[in-house]
């Protein structure tokens, strides 16, 4: 913990002693965030925040495992009740991180990992100065375009728009994140992130 007013965690009576870390993994769409964080999850040792979203479940996604799927009305209630640590609108859907489970896990000493898009990551950076923030870059813009095309269902116009957004996000990554990694090889990048976390101080 830092001893000035910028530290993360409210020092409530229910939260004595050292806490775990809040770890944010973000990056542009198509960079492979979830593949990287799935691999980190397999290594264990983190609590993975389950986001709420207003988008429909995809085949194979389980309620409460991949997301909590909620209505827009419910999502709005969660915003108004200040239940979300961060939230963003992305591709016409809303996504957010429920605050309580994250703070409870940190208070219990667990490291909590959020895999979120860049607008939400910026909210976390603004509110929680002690968060460890890791930005995943593609090996190159061309490679990012290739990956987005590989998803097979986007028009050229959509890809062009995504590229513009990605360039802006990569600039945010350069300016505001603690660490930047390149997703050129899954095993290598996972090893690099684990190395970063091993060197990052606990609260
Ligand atoms: P998808 O719909 O493909 O699961 O996710 C779309 C995007 O939303 C991804 O970039 C993912 O990282 C991001 N995302 C997932 N959960 C959250 C969240 O709780 N907050 C924010 N800000 N972004 C999220």
Place of tokens 């990056």: 27
Q: Which two tokens stand for residue 146?
A: 């290739």
Q: Residues of the chain whose pLDDT is less than 70?
A: 1-17, 203
Ligand 1 atom with least separation from CA of 26: 12
- For ligand 1, atom 10, name the residue with the nearest CA: 117
- Backbone angle region of 95, left / alpha / beta, with phi > 0 → left and psi within -120 to 50 → alpha: beta
- For ligand 1, atom 12, name the residue with the nearest CA: 116
User: Ligand 1: residues within 6 Å at CB?
Assistant: 29, 33, 51, 55, 86, 88, 90, 95-97, 115-117, 120
CA-based radius of gyration for the chain: 17
Question: How confident is the model at residue 152, as a pLDDT?
Answer: 75
Q: Which domains are seen in the chain, by residue range?
A: 21-199 (3.40.50.300)
Question: How confident is the model at residue 13, as a pLDDT?
Answer: 38
Sign of the alpha-carbon dihedral angle for 87, 29, 49, 192: negative
Taking only the tens place, the pLDDT of each residue in 158-187 is 889 989 999 999 999 999 999 999 999 999
DSSP codes, 121-175:
HHHHHHH-TT-EEEEEEPS-HHHHHHHHHHT----HHHHHHHHHHHHHHHHHHHH
Question: How confident is the model at residue 8, as a pLDDT?
Answer: 43
Distance 117 CA to ligand 1 centre (A): 5
The answer to whether the CB of 45 falls within 8 A of the CB of 105 is no
Ligand 1 atom with least separation from CA of 33: 12
Q: Where is 195: in which H helix or E strand?
A: helix 186-199
**What pairing do the DSSP bridges indicate for beta strands 47-48 and 84-90?**
unpaired
- For ligand 1, atom 24, name the residue with the nearest CA: 116
Question: How confident is the model at residue 203, as a pLDDT?
Answer: 63
């Amino acid at each position: 913990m830092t001893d000035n007013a910028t530290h993360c965690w409210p020092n409530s009576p229910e939260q004595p002693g050292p806490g775990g870390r809040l770890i944010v993994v973000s990056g542009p769409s198509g960079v492979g965030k979830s593949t990287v964080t799935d691999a980190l999850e397999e290594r264990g040792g983190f609590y993975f925040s389950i986001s709420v979203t207003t988008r429909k479940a995809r085949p194979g996604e389980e309620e409460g495992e991949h997301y909590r799927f909620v209505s827009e009305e419910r999502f709005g209630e969660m915003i108004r009740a200040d239940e979300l640590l961060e939230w963003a609108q992305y591709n016409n859907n809303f996504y957010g991180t429920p605050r309580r489970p994250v703070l409870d896990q940190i208070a219990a000493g667990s490291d909590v990992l959020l895999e979120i898009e860049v607008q939400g990551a910026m909210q976390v950076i603004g509110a929680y100065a002690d968060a460890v923030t890791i930005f995943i870059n593609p090996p190159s813009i061309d490679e990012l375009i290739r990956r987005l095309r590989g998803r097979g269902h986007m028009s050229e116009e959509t890809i062009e728009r995504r590229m513009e957004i990605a360039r802006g996000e990569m600039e945010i990554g350069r300016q505001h994140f603690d660490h930047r990694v390149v997703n050129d090889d899954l095993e290598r990048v996972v090893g690099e992130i684990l190395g970063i976390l091993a060197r990052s101080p606990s609260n």
